[in-house]
Amino acid sequence: MTEVTYSNNGNSLTIALNGHIDSANAAAVEAKINEIRSANPADGITVNCENLIYISSAGLRIVLRLKKAVPDTKLINVSPDVYEIFDMTGFTEIMEIHKAYRLLSVEGCEVIGQGANGKVYRIDKDTIVKVYMNPDSLAEIHRERELARTAFVLGVPTAIPYDVVRIEGGGYGSVFELLNATSFAKLLSTGEKTVDEIAEMSIKLLKTIHSTVVKSDSLPDITVYAKNWVDFLKDHLPENLHEKLKTLVTSIPSDNRMLHGDFHIKNVLLQNGESILIDMDTLCHGHPVFELAGMYNAYVGFSDIDHDNVLNFLGISYETAGELWRKMLRLYFNGESEEKIAEIEKKAMVIGYARILRRAIRLGNERMSFATEVAENCKKRLAKLLPEIDDLTF
């Protein structure tokens, strides 16, 4: 007979099915499930199908009756073969059923991209995987997949994940097919592309992103997050500086232009001459000043105190990163005077240092001495910049 085991977690009951369920043993399996339920009343039931090899129509009827008895019933770790049975018979339309995730190792794999919430590894010449920092990241993964699809449909070149995997050692990842794609960071660090070439390709892609207008409810609004950043800093800046910062940020008008949210040379790959975005979990809409602020931080701001930060992060020197940032800014505002570009840079810096200050305060307990130094630098920067700025738009 198929073994039926269980674990009780308060109001949630997990029942594990193992082996085969068919007409020969279905009655006994159902009797065991009912016995377990009687002894362990629960509001929700999770059926772990990790070791379920086959289920017949007799077994499907057991699942259906269980779903009717306990509406909050879901199936997890369902193998592809068994999932196909549930899918073909319509069960995936009437209840929550999750496929099992294949196990993947990234040990020894090259890191080709890195964003706010994960790292991107090359598994082989055809395949990359983004590994999420949060070990319980399935909701984040599915959210990013939807964001990537939104961008792709709107004409922004981005990689679309086709599989979700478990990572050896813990956590989950999204798998992408990218044939021989190379990050801009690697192209620059190896000398395959010059600073001028990378800057030009980056800004061409960035303008494509920013020229894409989205519906306000299709992507998150970055101004909502920005107002939260500013509110967080209320007790960490002098009152006059905080009020000025709050006035500037809240005065930025609504904008439905698409933003990547974490645009830098490790999040763009070159594949067959085409620039492709990865790491789409920060996709949002808003004024481009927020994008430029994030770029300033990636190339300059985060490395103000420790210049090795950018070397460790992007694989290029602090001097090269600064040169790249300045070239990209000039290309983005092609035709504007140096004075105008310098003014726009200051606006990006205001938002950038506000974000770094918030981050330093939140991480202070982990690296107290360094975080304090970073926070003090941000406060000095903001004290100098804020009196010189009347608005943050361009």
Q: List, as one string, the DSSP characters of 72-114.
A: SEEEEEE-HHHHHHHHHTTHHHHSEEEEPPPEE--TT-EEEEE
Tens of pLDDT, residues 63-80 = 999 999 999 999 999 998
How far is it, in rounded angstroms, from Cα 199 to Cα 326?
A: 9
Mean of pLDDT values over 219-223: 95
* Confidence check: pLDDT of 382 > 90: yes
* Confidence check: pLDDT of 343 > 60: yes
* Confidence check: pLDDT of 33 > 60: yes
365 pLDDT band, cuts 50/70/90, is low
Mean of pLDDT values over 166-195: 90
Q: Do the beta carbons of residue 262 and residue 294 sit within 8 Å?
A: yes
Reduced to 3 states (helix: H, G, I; strand: E, B; else coil), residue 163 is: strand
**What confidence score (pLDDT) does residue 139 get?**
83
Tens of pLDDT, residues 101-129 = 888 999 999 888 777 678 889 998 888 89
Q: Is the dihedral of CA 185, 367, 382, 246 positive or negative?
A: positive
Q: How many residues belong to the chain?
A: 394
**What confidence score (pLDDT) does residue 367 get?**
62
R_g of the chain, CA atoms, integer Å:
26
Question: What domains can be seen in the chain, in order of their start residue?
Answer: 4-99 (3.30.750.24), 104-177 (3.30.200.20), 182-388 (3.90.1200.10)
How far is it, in rounded angstroms, from Cα 259 to Cα 282?
A: 8
**What confidence score (pLDDT) does residue 368 get?**
65
Least confident of 163-172, 318-327, 334-343: 163-172
Long-range Cβ contact pairs of 87-95 (< 8 A, separation 24 or more) = 89/57, 89/60, 91/60, 91/63, 91/64, 94/67, 95/63, 95/67
Tens of pLDDT, residues 88-108 = 999 999 999 998 888 899 999
Q: What pTM value is reported for the model? A: 0.78
How far is it, in rounded angstroms, from Cα 118 to Cα 318?
A: 23
